[in-house]
Amino acid sequence: MMAYLRQVRCKSVYHKMGLHVLKPTSIHDFEPVKDKVPVANPAQFFRDHGRDYFVCCADFQTTTLVLVKPKENFTLKRDPFFREALRRQAGELFVIPFTQLADVAAEVTGDVAHITTVFVHITLRCGSTLLIKALEASGLMHTLSESDVYANISRYFLSKKDMTEDVTKMLLGLIRHTNTLFNYALLQKDPSKTITCYKMRGQVFPISDLMQRALPEVKNVFLYRNLLDTVDSWAHVMAEKRYWKYWLITALRLDFVYINSFVHWAPTSPWENPLFVSIPVQHGVVWFTTCVWLEFMQKAHKLTKTDAHQCFHVILRYEELCKYKEKMVLKIMDSLGIEGIDEDAKVKIREVFGFNSQTGHSLASRGPCRGESWLGQSEMGIISKIIEHVNMEINRPDCVLNGTMTRI
């Protein structure tokens, strides 16, 4: 199979807001406009035109990496989620077989050797968009919020019950080459910025150790949030911030319909875990969110309990991010070895905390660090029963992982 170009357009369904736009991007989300155009030398093509193409997704059925050239009116910073904007604004695909990726990456590896890469790993509903906007406001780095290619890789990895050495080697190479291609495209946009920061989707966190193995030189940040606020945030999103709607949906036990729509956000489905399914509580949004949170946090505990910084250079909670604002952001950057932040940048970072970083999106929170909780005795009882039933090492909704930055 050869690399090829193909003019496309995004399927019309993805131009409409809804839970369907949150599923990981695939090559099938695009409709062909013209026939494929073979690219005989994809390495040279990427060197010459790489600034115009961003990595979009990985297709494991055809073993190809899909890059997208967006339309001329595309801007990186306008939307809170890069993945959705890139899909909607796709104008042309550049499809590269996995077998040719090493050659393409090798062509530009020297160009990006001086780039410092930061990965921000997250749980769900933990203020990561706020953090990435604050880091972007420093003016020192390229930031990119949630590419779906890593979600594709995570899905594929988690679907494999037995990982052969060859498959593991393939995935490690795919992660390395993807990072090289991303860095090259961003560097061409603005060569003065030599730091790239990529915020991962929550479903990527289960392979954070695999990604570190592929890219041991990358600086990793992990952001999480306490369980009660996480559940409350999901409840607000589900009910579109209307308490009467939340009360009605949960009272009629209709929330299972909603959670079926976003089950792909979880690393694995709670319905496929006998331990979670056997919990004697209503299997609604509180159950679902608590189970997913526990799975994330158990993984995080495993990675941090003996050596907090073996995988992550910085570990922080949403609570301290909101409390200390720009001071916490500056401490994060200092811990990552990022210098050169002037007073003007500090002001811009603080200003980020004054507005909703996801404004206009269906996932938008109630704004930074404010809003009353909807959780009552019923929800608290469900959460307590779940924690007691699973009997994990993570046994508190407000647990603090080893190595977490809790003070300035």
Helices (H), ranges, 262-313? 274-277, 285-304
Least-confidence region, from 28-37, 126-135, 293-302, 358-367: 358-367
How far are the Cα atoms of 82, 219, 267, 373, 400 from residue 78, in angstroms, in the given order? Answer: 9, 26, 28, 30, 34
For the chain, percent of residues with pLDDT exceeding 70:
93
Reported residue count of the chain is 408
Whole-Å CA distances, 128 to 5, 188, 221, 223, 246:
34, 26, 11, 7, 24
> What per-residue confidence (pLDDT) applies to 102?
98
Residue 236 or 43, more confident: 43
How much is the average pLDDT of 385-394? 95
Checking if the pLDDT of 47 tops 80, the result is yes
Question: What is the per-residue pLDDT across 140-187, written as a single tens digit (0 to 9) for each?
Answer: 999 998 899 999 999 999 988 888 999 999 999 999 999 999 999 999
Q: What pLDDT score was predicted for residue 116? A: 97
Report how far Cα 254 is from the mean position of its chain's Cα atoms.
Answer: 28
Q: What pLDDT shows up at residue 218?
A: 98
Domain-by-domain residue ranges, the chain?
3-113+142-192
Question: What pLDDT is stored for residue 372 in this prediction?
Answer: 78
Residue 89 Rama label (left phi>0; alpha psi -120 to 50; beta): alpha
In this predicted structure, what is the pLDDT of residue 166?
93
Q: Collapsing DSSP states into helix, strand and coil, what is residue 74? A: coil
Tell me how many degrees the CA angle 202-206-211 measures, rounded to the nearest 5: 100
* pLDDT tens-digit readout, 56-90: 999 999 999 999 999 877 776 667 788 888 999 99
DSSP single-letter state for residue 405: B
Q: What are the strands of the beta sheet with 142-145, ordered from one edge?
A: 142-145, 195-199, 116-122, 219-224, 314-317
Task: Assign 22 a pLDDT band (cuts: 50, 70, 90).
Answer: confident
**Residue 360, pLDDT above cutoff 60:** no
Using the predicted structure, report yes or no on whether residue 15 has a pLDDT greater than 90.
no
